[in-house]
Amino acid sequence: MASNKPSNRQFDVLIIGAGFSGLYQLYQLRKLGFNVKLFDAGSDLGGVWHWNCYPGARVDSHIPNYEYSIEEVWQDWNWTERFPGWQELQRYFAHVDQKLDLKRDIEFQKTVIGAAFDEPSCRWHVTSQDGETVDAQFILTCLGFAAKAHTPEFRGIETFTGDATHTAHWPQDGLSLSGKRVGVIGNGASGVQVIQEASKVAAHLTLFQRTPMIALAMQQRQLTVDEEQAKKATLKEVFRIRNASGGGFYDLEMDPRKAHEVPEAERNKVFEAAWAKGGFHFWTGTFSDIITDADSNRMAYDFWRAKVHARVQNPQTAELLAPQQPPHPFGAKRPSLEQWYYEAFNQDNVSLVDLTQNPITEIVPQGVRTASNNYDLDVLVFATGFDAGTGGFTQIDLRSTSGRTIKEVWQDGVDTHLGLAVPQFPNLLMLYGPQSPTAFWNGPASAEVQGDWVVNCLVHLRDKGINRIEAEFEAAQKWTQHMEEMGARTLMPLADSWYMGANIPGKRRQMLFYMGSKSYMAHCNESAQNGYAGFKLD
Ligand code: N01
């Protein structure tokens, strides 16, 4: 509940969320003399990497893209895998804390449940679950885009007598899948990862698939200490290029040509090279028109499909996993990365239920009932994603200056100025939020680049004696319009993705994330250079 009571504890800045963005803000603002506090709902650092401890959870951005560029952090840190898993990422955050001494200004298990802006004092009253209300001039929301898990409302869901969990709420003390009959609903990034691990240990694993996932080869590998040490000499330059790049990767280069204009042999060479590099290279590191031209997009899809069919023995299963007709344009939904996902379906202990032919009718005490079958299960995993971008906000009783909750304000769609601020929510700045490049921007790069903009903004306000910053309605409407126009020039709107808000029943369909961090930052910097155009400063 939002509260209007004044509080005993007062801060210049309250940061919500101890992931990459929140920790970066804390580190920078504290150095600049702000009185800062960070609240996080979890019991340790890491944001999603604190919560996501399901078997196989690992990052899809390859090292060294996925880390801070802060020298005192990287100079004596060595990664062991090109795509590190959640345990290693948790160790990394402990290392970050050790180097930057962050925890002394962080309060854990401090879930923010409400916030109301007090006009006379020009400060936010922020209430947490434990009943305390604190007072801050500015709130920085560093909630991540996946702060609210989505579990579909299957009939009978509460009757299941086995262990049921959403991937984002995986028990911190573990949940064994060994020797169990495991069902997984969903095959996004989380589903693919948990399926791979479950396939190794489960007595039987059943994937309930609604839409085939266009999963790309991760090309995981171990990193040696020598290799990591040798890399240090190049890291400053690597991070400089990464942070200036259009997606937060130092080594993801687009071929400027259009795929359908390139001779087939040449095109396949480019596709093969990207495939061999692994990770997102095949998504955003081939031709410039893959996500804008339907013919070029289809060429990438067909290349991918042939790769999958070569690995799956049963042609019918292969067709379910990689159908002749693309389920949606390639890349218009976030591709998962996989290591042995497709081979898993060659195993006797793994089966696939096609929900388009055989939909789930209800969850029963023993397992899942579909239109034509019953599946008895010991463990049911909901890898069903998130109310992305906005869910982290709308679950807080966050009040506008006119008293409306952000949930009400965003009911008919999100309007923000530059994905940084919402009209009628003064002195609240969003990092990695909706209508900024979030989903298309490697997290640590965004934390630093967008993060520096926010830090500079707060310094500017302080230096100029400005107490209040608020997004203007007209600027926010223009930004939404600009995003829709950009989206319409791509194939993105054609998929029912979380990028479009289309994965949540009843959520307004709109482009929720800005495509292109370079042009995004150009807009943000232009606003700052013009006295924070689009914001009202008092
Ligand atoms: O969620 P998702 P996620 N009945 O939304 C299915 C990041 N991430 O947690 O496609 C049946 O992608 C749904 O089916 P459909 C990453 O950015 C990163 O996997 O809607 N199925 C889909 O298969 C990622 O994109 C990492 O038809 C239902 C699945 O559930 C984002 O988080 C790791 C259903 C949801 O997939 C979200 O990934 C994990 C229903 N009623 C996550 N409702 C790494 O970096 C939903 N589904 C590694």
Asked if residue 484 belongs to a domain, the reply is: yes
C-alpha to C-alpha distances, 401 to 122, 124, 178, 404, 427, nearest whole angstrom? 11, 11, 53, 8, 11
Residues 124 and 162 in one domain: no
CA 410 to ligand 1 center in whole angstroms: 23
Range(s) of the domain holding residue 323:
157-229+246-382
Best mutation site among 49, 82, 157, 190 for ligand 1 pocket (most ligand atoms within 8 Å of CB):
190
- Would residue 95 count as lying in a domain? yes
Task: List, in order, residues 6 or more apart from 94 with CB less than 8 Å away.
Answer: 45
Establish if 1 belongs to a structural domain: no
190 lines ligand 1 (CB under 6 A): yes
Q: Is 56 in the pocket of ligand 1 (CB under 6 A)?
A: no
Q: Which atom of ligand 1 is nearest to the CA of 337?
A: 48
**Segments in the chain below pLDDT 50:** none
Does the CB atom of residue 293 touch ligand 1 within 6 A? no
Same domain, 166 and 217: yes
If you take atom 13 of ligand 1, which residue's CA is the nearest one? 186
Q: Are residues 262 and 371 in the same domain?
A: yes
Q: Residues 144, 161: one domain? A: no
Q: How far apart are the CA of 503 and the centre of ligand 1, in A?
A: 9
Same domain, 91 and 114: yes
Q: Give pLDDT, residue 8.
A: 81
Query: Is 378 in the same domain as 397?
Result: no
CA of 321 to the centre of ligand 1 (A): 16
Give bridge partners of residue 369 from the DSSP assignment: 362, 374
* Residue identifier of the C-alpha nearest atom 44 of ligand 1: 59
383 CB near ligand 1 (under 6 Å): yes
Domain presence at residue 62: yes
Decide: 442 and 153 in contact? Cβ < 8 Å: no
Per-residue model confidence (pLDDT) at position 1: 64
Which residues, in sequence order, are bridge partners of residue 255?
287
Indicate if ligand 1 lies below 6 Å from the C-beta of 151.
Answer: no
d(CA 118, CA 219): 52
Domains of the chain: total = 2
Task: Kindly provide the residue ranges of all beta strands, DSSP E only, lying in 275-366, ordered along the sequence.
Answer: 337-338, 350-354, 360-364
How many angstroms is it from 311 CA to the middle of ligand 1?
A: 23
Whether 59 and 120 share a structural domain = yes
Which residues, 6 or more positions from 291, have their beta carbon under 8 angstroms from its beta carbon?
A: 284, 297, 329, 331, 332, 490, 491, 492
Report d(CA 118, CA 121) in Å as an integer: 6
78 and 217 share one domain? no
Asked if residue 359 and residue 263 are part of one domain, the reply reads yes
Which of 384, 496, 499, 507 to mutate to test ligand 1, by most ligand atoms within 8 A of the CB atom? Answer: 384
Domain end point (choices 331, 362, 382): 382
For residues 402 and 378, membership in a common domain is answered with no
Kindly give the number of the ligand 1 atom that is closest to the alpha carbon of 496. Answer: 20
CATH number, position 397: 3.50.50.60
- Single out the residue in 328, 363, 382 at which a domain terminates: 382
Which tens digit of pLDDT belongs to each residue from 130-175?
A: 999 999 999 999 999 999 999 999 999 999 999 999 999 999 999 9
Three-state DSSP state, 458: helix
Confirm whether 469 is domain-assigned. yes
In a domain, 237, yes or no: no
Nearest to 306 by CA among 292, 289, 322, 320: 322
Does some domain include residue 5? Answer: no
Q: Are residues 262 and 166 in the same domain?
A: yes
Q: What number does the ligand 1 atom closest to the CA of 58 have?
A: 48
Q: Which residue has the tokens 């062991």?
A: 80
- Please say which residue of 337, 359, 382 terminates a domain: 382
Kindly report the protein residue whose alpha carbon is nearest to atom 25 of ligand 1.
334
Q: Is 355 in the pocket of ligand 1 (CB under 6 A)?
A: yes
Q: What distances in angstroms separate CA 125 from CA 31, 82, 206, 407, 473, one per listed residue?
A: 24, 43, 48, 18, 23
Would the pTM of this model clear 0.95, i.e. be above it? yes
Task: Read off the pLDDT of residues 449-476 as tens digits, 9 standing for 90 and up.
Answer: 999 999 999 999 999 999 999 999 999 9
Determine the pLDDT at residue 2: 63
- CB distance 334 to ligand 1 below 6 Å: yes
Tokens, residue 217: 């080869």
Instruction: Say how many Å lie between the CA of residue 231 and the centre of ligand 1.
Output: 34
Question: Domain for residue 3, yes or no?
Answer: no
The dihedral formed by the CA atoms of 403, 482, 443 and 421, expressed in degrees to the nearest 10: -20
Nearest to 190 by CA among 363, 366, 386: 386
Clarify whether residues 180 and 115 are in a common domain.
no
Alpha carbon nearest to ligand 1 atom 40, residue: 152
Q: In angstroms, what is the span from residue 313 Cα to ligand 1's centroid?
A: 26
Residues 514-524 as b/e (b if ≥16 CB within 10 A, e otherwise) read: bbebeebbebb
